[in-house]
Structure 1
Amino acid sequence: MRRGAGPGLGLVALAVLGACSGTPDPEQARTCRRALPTLVPAGARITVLRTAQGPQERSIRIDFAQDRDGRTALPRYAVCEFSGLSRTDLSGLTSDRGAVGGAALYLLKHYYLDTPDAALAEPGAG
């Protein structure tokens, strides 16, 4: 009689799926939220609607609303990717409007994300 995979394999598969869809890392989510103001026009308000694991390993997706006076709120999203160098090393940023290019990403990482201005502009966790 041949033995099948049994319930053990099913439990392992569920555990792997659960690990992929788990709660996003809070520090990665903070870094990603701090990048959001750079994706909207000056004066726009951001409301974070949802934070979740992104489509790639070590990525976060934030769904948010962009609101400007006298205009209908726009649904938007951003996906932040993180390198293996450290938990919070931003290696890519893409929004519903496209990817942030190399030079802009470099400037964002090295001259904005860890500043007091970025901390003040960071939208709430939603």
Structure 2
Amino acid sequence: MVRIERAALAGAVILWLAAGFGCDTALDARRATLCRRAVPALAPPGAEIDLLRVGSGASRGSVRVDYRLVGGTSALAKAEATRPRFLVCHFDAGDDLGAVTTEQGPVSGASLYLLRRYYLTTPEAEAADPGAR
């Protein structure tokens, strides 16, 4: 009888852990999606984006997107395409975007507000998501 109770307890613990990891995975995926969707909004107008990496950032609850711009035939466009770019999204609890940093520095509070409020969850942002292609 003790064996059955231990086996049941072990099974319950495994299910509980699996459910917890599933939530974290779903949250991580949602955060990565939101961060990817911010890239086209912060890139130059009409730029084609080539994603290089999407993964965890250096701090807890952050996502880093490494990318480069593609296209253009001028020397300046080619130089811009070879320059690595990145975006780091810092999230508060859940998927609340608290801050964004680019290779040029932090995104201003007003720009961040407009990005969160009027862009990230729109059909336009979904269509422009460079990771959805």
TM-score, normalising length: structure 1: 0.75
Identity of aligned residues (%): 45
Within the candidate set 107, 111, 119, 2:126 is matched to 119
* Structure 2 partner of 1:78: 87
Higher helix share: 2
Going from structure 1 to structure 2, the CA distance change for 1:51 and 1:125 (only over 3 Å counts) comes to farther
Deviation at 1:83, TM superposition (A): 0.5
Structure 1 unaligned regions, length at least 5: 1-22
* Structure 1 partner of 2:69: 66
SS in 2 for 1:64: strand
1:18-57 alignment to 2 at 5 Å?
25-57=28-60
CA RMSD of aligned residues (A): 1.8
Question: Is residue 98 from structure 1 mapped to residue 105 from structure 2 by the alignment?
Answer: yes
The letter of the residue matching 1:67 is V
Task: Please identify runs of 4+ aligned residues in structure 1 that moved more than 6 A.
Answer: none
Whole-Å separation in 2 of the counterparts to 1:112 and 1:124: 16
Structure 2 unaligned regions, length at least 5: 1-24
The answer to whether the 8 Å contact 1:60/1:80 transfers is yes
The answer to whether the 8 Å contact 1:48/1:125 transfers is no
Q: Count matched residues.
A: 102
The answer to whether the 8 Å contact 1:61/1:77 transfers is yes
Whole-Å separation in 2 of the counterparts to 1:123 and 1:91: 22
Deviation at 1:68, TM superposition (A): 3.5
> Highest Rg: 1 or 2?
2
TM-score, normalising length: structure 2: 0.71
Deviation at 1:125, TM superposition (A): 6.1
